[in-house]
Amino acid sequence: VALNAKTVRRLPDEVVVPGYDRSRVTVGIVHLGVGGFHRAHQAMYLDRLMAAGEALDWGICGVGVLPADRAMADALAAQDHLYTLVVKHPDGRYEPRVIGSIVDYLFAPDDPEAVIEKLAAPATRIVSLTVTEGGYNLHHVTGQFAADNPDVQHDLVPGVAPKTSFGLIVEALARRRDRGIAPFTVMSCDNLQGNGDLSRRVFTAFARLRDPQLADWIDANVRFPNSMVDRITPVTTDADRAEIARRFGVEDRWPVVCEPFTQWVLADDFGAGRPGYEKVGVQVVDDVEPYELMKLRLLNASHQALAYFGHLAGYRLVDRAAADPLFATFLRQYMDREGTPTLAPVPGVDLDAYQASLLERFANPEVRDTIARLCAESSDRIPKWVLPVIRAQLKAGGPIDHATAVVASWARYAEGVDEQGEQITVVDPLADRLTAAAKRQRSEPLAFLADRSIFGDLIDDERFTASYRATLDSLHTVGARATLEGLVAG
Ligand code: NAD
């Protein structure tokens, strides 16, 4: 049956449906960027709270800011804003749950004024965001708010109907200030380090271009909590829709699929209240940074450890490489010996269990994550995820061989030709420069490291370069697999 508020009662027992009265749920949160991730994560936590009879005044009103969101607006409207969230377990089991916490949706391109008034309404106490990295409008070179973006320029014209999140949110904040209504909290759930601090920076930067006094008022009065979010949520495919219809008899225009693991670490920094998230597994903390470093140096760095060695060894899917005992051992040794010792204590997290959960997640064949995805944008990722571990270990006199080998594997990959002589497509804004340097390294082994805009002064550290040269040489002479065997035998 087609999913909606009437048919949801008739679904098979194995599909969990909202047991609470949705007609009693009122909007407390307006969310910009209702995509897969929001629906697998934040809306799911609220649904759990509502199922426990709580947070009924924290219902979500979704907002689509971009014209491309019309499809989501239509899908949700046809289904009374209900949708099916399907957790895919590694053994092939699907765990379906119809989520009821989104109770309204506004499509800004059709009616921006309605969105602004919803944001300005006294009941709206949190405005949350999953608008992707691009949604923060940072200049790709300076890293500052890109004021020259034509849509931003458009939104700065007084009295205009806004096109951007900045125009919508800042106008709503101005109205709240003028009406004497306390501001909402802006809660970014995007995957960016210091996402709250970044949001404060870009929203006040926009406001400052419009009205410096308003910018000062926002900076002084609006809270922007940081958060760390984690749950792999791939794009929904037609195969997913068909499989969900086949297994459960639900015809859902836009279901969401995700992995079993989920994590949300949230700074307790709210100006106008918040749902009792901690009751449903959210870690509400004072400082998110230790958790972010844990994720960057264990999850993200391990992905890099799988990526280039994996590709060179012939793997194309993450789960296949992660299920290979040689790779699993290499990752575990990297995390145990090199990554984890550089972390400050992470309150409430068992790091051993976290490491084990990462290996399990990577090996989940249902997620179908690709090695190619992990190999992209390396020049942005290696300096954030891997080099800090090497620097910390060099300073502490600790082991560096595994993390350094990841860097060497990237250098080998960047040559653009694999061990069978096949072409490698290097996806990186700096691809040309990187490949040119990598091609020189058979005669000039440190050529790749000479780029100080990426590697800083690591090339001056002899312990690092000795380890790097050994691995690069091994990659050239015996290949990726034998190199890993040597490393794990250490
Ligand atoms: P998605 O493509 O399903 O949804 C993205 C939403 O953001 C869409 O509604 C889109 O219109 C909106 N958007 C994009 N650019 C925008 C802009 N400039 N202004 C306003 N809205 C804009 O993507 P998703 O899977 O939901 O992921 C969204 C974000 O969530 C990611 O970029 C990441 O920061 C975070 N996240 C995703 C995952 C995941 O596995 N998918 C995991 C952790 C965190």
End-to-end CA separation in angstroms for the chain: 58
Q: Report CA(33)–ligand 1 centroid distance (Å).
A: 6
CATH topology of domain 7-285: Rossmann fold (3.40.50)
Tokens for 196, please give them: 């709250």
Residue with CA nearest ligand 1 atom 44: 191
In angstroms, the CA 185 to CA 272 distance is: 7
**Which atom in ligand 1 lies closest to the alpha carbon of residue 134?**
18
Q: Report CA(190)–ligand 1 centroid distance (Å).
A: 7
Residue with CA nearest ligand 1 atom 9: 33
- Report whether residue 167 contacts ligand 1, using a CB cutoff of 6 Å: no
- Report whether residue 229 contacts ligand 1, using a CB cutoff of 6 Å: yes
Neighbours of 92 (CB within 10 A): 8
In angstroms, the CA 449 to CA 430 distance is: 14
Residue located via tokens 């009295």: 159
**Which atom in ligand 1 lies closest to the alpha carbon of residue 137?**
18
Q: Report CA(478)–ligand 1 centroid distance (Å).
A: 42
Residue 105's beta-bridge partner residues?
A: 62
Edge-first strand listing for the sheet containing 102-107: 102-107, 59-64, 27-32, 126-129, 185-188
Could you give the 3-state DSSP secondary structure of residue 363? Answer: coil
- Report whether residue 190 contacts ligand 1, using a CB cutoff of 6 Å: yes
Which helix (H) or strand (E) is 5 found in, with range?
Answer: none
Residue with CA nearest ligand 1 atom 23: 35
Q: Report CA(50)–ligand 1 centroid distance (Å).
A: 24
Q: Report CA(139)–ligand 1 centroid distance (Å).
A: 19
* Test site for ligand 1: of 132, 199, 237, 296, most ligand atoms within 8 A of the Cβ: 132
**Which atom in ligand 1 lies closest to the alpha carbon of residue 132?**
32
Residue 283's beta-bridge partner residues?
A: 265
- Report whether residue 191 contacts ligand 1, using a CB cutoff of 6 Å: yes
Residue 251's beta-bridge partner residues?
A: 2
In angstroms, the CA 74 to CA 76 distance is: 6
CATH topology of domain 289-489: N-(1-d-carboxylethyl)-l-norvaline Dehydrogenase; domain 2 (1.10.1040)
In angstroms, the CA 145 to CA 141 distance is: 11
* Single-letter residue type at 382: I
- Report whether residue 65 contacts ligand 1, using a CB cutoff of 6 Å: yes
- Report whether residue 62 contacts ligand 1, using a CB cutoff of 6 Å: no
Convert 277-320 into a string of H (helix), E (strand) and C (coil): HHHHCCEEECCCHHHHHHHHHHHHHHHHHHHHHHHHCCCCEHHH
Tokens for 306, please give them: 């799988």
Report angle CA 299, 303, 305 to the nearest 5 degrees: 115
**Which atom in ligand 1 lies closest to the alpha carbon of residue 231?**
42
| Of the candidates 295, 290, 387, 386, the residue with the CA atom closest to the CA atom of residue 344 | 290
Q: What is the DSSP string of 228-262?
A: EEE---PPP-HHHHHHHHHHH--B-SS-EEE-S--
- Report whether residue 135 contacts ligand 1, using a CB cutoff of 6 Å: yes
Residue with CA nearest ligand 1 atom 13: 131
**Which atom in ligand 1 lies closest to the alpha carbon of residue 68?**
11
Report angle CA 118, 123, 128 to the nearest 5 degrees: 65
CATH 3.40.50.720 domain range(s) in the chain: 7-285
Kindly give the confidence (pLDDT) of every residue in the chain, 490 residues in length, as a single tens digit, with 9 standing for 90 and above.
999 999 999 999 999 999 999 999 999 999 999 999 999 999 999 999 999 999 999 999 999 999 999 999 999 999 999 999 999 999 999 999 999 999 999 999 999 999 999 999 999 999 999 999 899 999 877 889 999 999 999 999 999 999 999 999 999 999 999 999 999 999 999 999 999 999 999 999 999 999 999 999 999 999 999 999 999 998 899 999 999 999 999 999 999 999 999 999 999 999 999 999 999 999 999 999 999 999 999 999 999 999 999 999 999 999 999 999 999 999 999 999 999 999 999 999 999 999 999 999 999 999 888 999 999 999 989 999 999 999 999 999 999 999 999 999 999 999 999 999 999 999 999 999 999 999 999 999 999 999 999 999 999 999 999 999 999 999 999 999 999 999 999 8
- For residues 317 and 370, is the Cβ–Cβ distance under 8 A? yes
Tokens for 260, please give them: 């079993």
Residue with CA nearest ligand 1 atom 35: 190
Size of the chain, expressed as the number of residues it contains: 490
Please state whether 35 falls in left (phi above 0), alpha (psi between -120 and 50) or beta.
beta
- For residues 272 and 184, is the Cβ–Cβ distance under 8 A? yes
Q: Report CA(38)–ligand 1 centroid distance (Å).
A: 8
Residue with CA nearest ligand 1 atom 37: 37
Query: How much is the pTM?
Result: 0.93
**Which atom in ligand 1 lies closest to the alpha carbon of residue 258?**
40
Tokens for 267, please give them: 């700074």
Q: Report CA(386)–ligand 1 centroid distance (Å).
A: 25
CATH 1.10.1040.10 domain range(s) in the chain: 289-489
Neighbours of 447 (CB within 10 A): 16
**Which atom in ligand 1 lies closest to the alpha carbon of residue 133?**
32
**DSSP state letter for 33:** -
- Report whether residue 33 contacts ligand 1, using a CB cutoff of 6 Å: yes
- Report whether residue 193 contacts ligand 1, using a CB cutoff of 6 Å: no
Q: Report CA(302)–ligand 1 centroid distance (Å).
A: 23
**DSSP state letter for 490:** -
Residue located via tokens 């949001």: 199
* Single-letter residue type at 118: K
In angstroms, the CA 324 to CA 169 distance is: 48
